[in-house]
């Protein structure tokens, strides 16, 4: 079975093959960096981390580009509020973002372009659109995109221009010819700081002083880094319209070529079945979550829901994920893996089931189910070869790479040496057939959150949360 991906553009599962055989080019819309990343951001980045991991596991070379938006209204407002430069704010937030996502085990993208580094390319693209009659200069000084002049507008979101018409309900603002039009170049305001402005004239384009609109940055950066047409464009479901719809209009309006062959969108995050928002007080940063749960548990929690489905965040679900991950690590602790596997035999029954799950639109819930079945078989047979397979398949999802006992024993309330001493005391009591003392030691450790596990290989322990 070949890899199939759900294409938002066609609204169907399609067989995937890259434009360039053996090489996948993928662009994902990344962070607007004015604050700490939240769990919704983690969900998006995790989804495409798994995509690129599985593509690599499938034998492809992957060029993965995830941009950084480092200029927009929210960034300017936050920098002014804090009395620092835009660059100081965005540099600080990039460091914070990397710290948070590194903790979650996300691999860095191949390239992470910043919008402010591509302003000349954005102006060039705006110039192409104006030359083709798809962009116009407004009286306000802005340069806008003329949506109705692009015949394919609405094909990604499935919205027709009639459905999108806002003329009867919304006033045309900022000198737009039509309410549906969107800004490509924003004329500078006197109240804005100097580091939020670029002189387009000095760069060869007679658009005056201003800054790029949000949508144009991704069209310019994806084209510059991956070419005019590439394999996969991804992002959160909230970007499908208008951001990605506008990217298509800009890019395809300028080049006459399809922007991306596959469009992928991950689902929303809900908190206790309500939409996550600051106004509801149910908004969690990645750091909030990692203060209560270890990073791999959070990763495991995110992967147990299919990337296109809505994810319901709650402590109950995270507690369940922690318990489930411990089951997998317990199997590896009792039956150490027989070294690292140089490659996976995809004909092996468990591996074949895992591959079938992942090849069906990156089906991580089904793949995780295979890991549990494999762990049960490791427990039943004591096979070191199957334990090695469990660890290797887990690596395809960024899981199970810690030393098992280190993971299981994290967060112990008493010192490891004291636990070892108690285990030795218990072993001596059992050898002397003093089972009452042995049971008392076990119960005493359990009261301190330490559960003992006896096996043919001896006694191990783990922390009970």
> How does residue 438 score in pLDDT terms, banded at 50, 70 and 90?
low
As given in the structure block, the two tokens for residue 4 are: 């199939």
> How does residue 430 score in pLDDT terms, banded at 50, 70 and 90?
confident
As given in the structure block, the two tokens for residue 143 are: 């340069």
311 — phi, psi (to 5°)? -110, 125
CA distance 193 to 31: 22
242 preceded by a cis bond (ω within 30 of 0):
yes
Tens-digit pLDDT profile for residues 286-343: 999 999 999 999 999 999 999 999 999 999 999 999 999 999 999 999 998 888 888 9
Locate the domains of the chain by residue range. 4-266, 271-407, 411-463
pLDDT at residue 414, as a whole number: 62
Tens-digit pLDDT profile for residues 368-411: 999 999 999 999 999 999 999 999 999 999 999 999 998 988 86
pLDDT at residue 168, as a whole number: 38
Average pLDDT over residues 172-185: 84
Of the listed ranges 26-35, 159-168, 179-188, the one predicted with least confidence: 159-168
Please check whether the domain covering 271-407 is classified as CATH 1.20.120.640.
yes
With contact defined as beta carbons under 8 Å apart, do 261 and 231 qualify? yes
**More confident call, 449 vs 182:** 182
Average pLDDT over residues 341-365: 96
Long-range contacts of 110-114, Cβ-Cβ distance < 8 Å, separation of 24 or more: 110/62, 110/63, 110/64, 110/65, 111/63, 111/64, 111/65, 111/66, 111/225, 112/30, 112/65, 112/66, 112/67, 112/68, 113/65, 113/67, 113/68, 113/221, 113/224, 113/225, 114/67, 114/68, 114/70, 114/90
Checking if the pLDDT of 275 tops 90, the result is no
CA distance 383 to 237: 43
- Distances in Å between the Cα of 462 and the Cα atoms of 295, 333, 358, 449, 465 are 17, 10, 31, 8, 10
Residue for token pair 């003392």: 437
Tens-digit pLDDT profile for residues 62-115: 999 999 999 999 999 999 999 999 999 999 999 999 999 999 999 999 999 999
Helix 295-303 vs helix 364-381: angle between axes, to the nearest 10 degrees? Answer: 120
pLDDT at residue 359, as a whole number: 98
CA distance 17 to 197: 42
Kindly tell me the sign of the dihedral angle through the C-alpha atoms of 284, 285, 287, 289.
positive
Beta bridge partners of 62: 24
SS (H, E, C) the chain: CCCEEEECCCCEEEECCCCECCEEEEEEEEEECCCCCEHHHHHHHHHHHHHHHHHHHCCCEEEEEEEEECCCHHHHHHHHHHCCCHHHHHHHHHHHHHHHHHHCCCCCCCECCEHHHHHHHHHHHHHHHHHCCCEEECCCCCEEECHHHCCCCCCCCCCCHHHHCCCCCCCCCCCCCCCCCEEEEEECCCCCCHHHCEECHHHCCCCCEEEECHHHHHHHHHHHHHCCCEEEEEEEHHHHHHHHHHHHHHHHHHHCCCCEEEEEEECCEEECCEECCCCCCCCCEHHHHHCCCCHHHHHHHHHCCCCCCCEEECHHHHHHHHHHHHHHHHHHHHCCCCCCCCCCCCCCHHHHHHHHHHHECCCHHHHHHHHHHHHHHHHHHCCHHHHHHHHHHHHCCCCCCCCHHHHHHCCCCCCHHHHHHHHHHHHHHHHCCCHHHHHHHHHHHHHCCEEEEEECCEEEEEECC
- Return the CATH fold of 4-266: Rossmann fold (3.40.50)
> How does residue 465 score in pLDDT terms, banded at 50, 70 and 90?
low
- Distances in Å between the Cα of 386 and the Cα atoms of 36, 300, 358 are 40, 21, 19
Checking if the pLDDT of 192 tops 60, the result is yes
Checking if the pLDDT of 169 tops 50, the result is no
Checking if the pLDDT of 164 tops 80, the result is no
Helix 214-226 vs helix 245-255: angle between axes, to the nearest 10 degrees? Answer: 50
CA distance 231 to 263: 9
Checking if the pLDDT of 1 tops 70, the result is no
> Average per-residue pLDDT in the chain?
91
Tens-digit pLDDT profile for residues 229-266: 999 999 999 999 999 999 999 999 999 999 999 999 99
Strand bridging mode 269-271 / 23-32: unpaired
pLDDT at residue 444, as a whole number: 63
Checking if the pLDDT of 174 tops 70, the result is no
pLDDT at residue 33, as a whole number: 95
Model pTM? 0.89
Average pLDDT over residues 202-222: 96
pLDDT at residue 165, as a whole number: 66
């Amino acid at each position: 079975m070949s890899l199939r991906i759900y294409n938002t553009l066609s609204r169907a599962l399609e067989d995937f093959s890259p434009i360039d055989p053996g090489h996948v080019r993928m662009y994902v819309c990344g962070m607007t960096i004015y604050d700490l990343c939240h769990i919704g951001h983690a969900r998006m980045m995790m989804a495409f981390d798994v995509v690129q991991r599985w593509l690599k596991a499938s034998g492809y070379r992957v060029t993965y580009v995830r941009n950084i938006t480092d200029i927009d209204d929210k960034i300017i407002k936050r920098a002014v509020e804090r009395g620092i430069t835009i660059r100081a704010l965005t540099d600080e937030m990039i460091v914070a973002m990397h710290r948070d996502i590194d903790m979650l085990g996300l691999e860095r993208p191949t390239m992470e372009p910043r919008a402010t580094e591509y302003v000349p390319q954005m102006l060039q693209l705006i110039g192409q659109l104006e030359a083709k009659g798809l962009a116009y200069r407004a009286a306000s000084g802005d340069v806008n995109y003329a949506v109705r002049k692009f015949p394919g507008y609405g094909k990604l979101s499935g919205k027709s221009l009639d459905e999108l018409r806002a003329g009867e309900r919304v006033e045309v603002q900022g000198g737009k010819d039509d309410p549906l039009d969107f800004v490509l170049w924003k004329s500078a305001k006197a109240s804005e700081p100097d580091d939020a402005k670029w002189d387009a004239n000095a760069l060869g384009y007679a658009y005056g002083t201003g800054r790029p609109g949000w949508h144009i940055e991704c069209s310019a950066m994806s084209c510059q880094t991956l070419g005019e047409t590439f394999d996969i464009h991804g992002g959160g479901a909230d970007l499908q319209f208008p951001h990605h719809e506008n990217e298509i209009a800009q890019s395809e309006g300028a080049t006459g070529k399809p922007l991306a062959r596959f469009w992928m969108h991950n689902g929303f995050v809900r908190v206790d079945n309500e939409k996550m928002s600051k106004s509801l007080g149910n908004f969690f940063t990645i750091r909030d979550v990692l203060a209560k749960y270890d990073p791999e548990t959070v990763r495991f929690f995110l992967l147990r829901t299919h990337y296109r489905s809505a994810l319901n965040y709650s402590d109950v679900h995270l507690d369940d994920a922690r318990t489930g991950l411990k089951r997998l690590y317990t199997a590896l602790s009792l039956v150490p893996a027989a070294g690292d596997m140089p490659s996976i035999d995809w004909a092996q029954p468990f591996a074949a089931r895992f591959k079938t799950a992942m090849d069906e639109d990156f089906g991580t819930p089904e793949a995780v189910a295979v890991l549990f079945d494999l762990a049960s078989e490791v427990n039943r047979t004591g096979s070191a070869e199957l334990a090695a397979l469990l660890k290797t398949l887990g690596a395809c999802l960024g899981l199970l790479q810690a030393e098992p006992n280190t993971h299981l024993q994290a967060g112990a309330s008493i010192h490891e040496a004291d636990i070892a001493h108690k285990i030795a005391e218990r072993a001596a009591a059992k050898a002397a057939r003093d089972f009452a003392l042995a049971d008392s030691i076990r119960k005493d450790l359990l009261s301190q959150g330490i559960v003992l596990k006896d096996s043919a290989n001896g006694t191990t322990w783990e922390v009970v949360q």
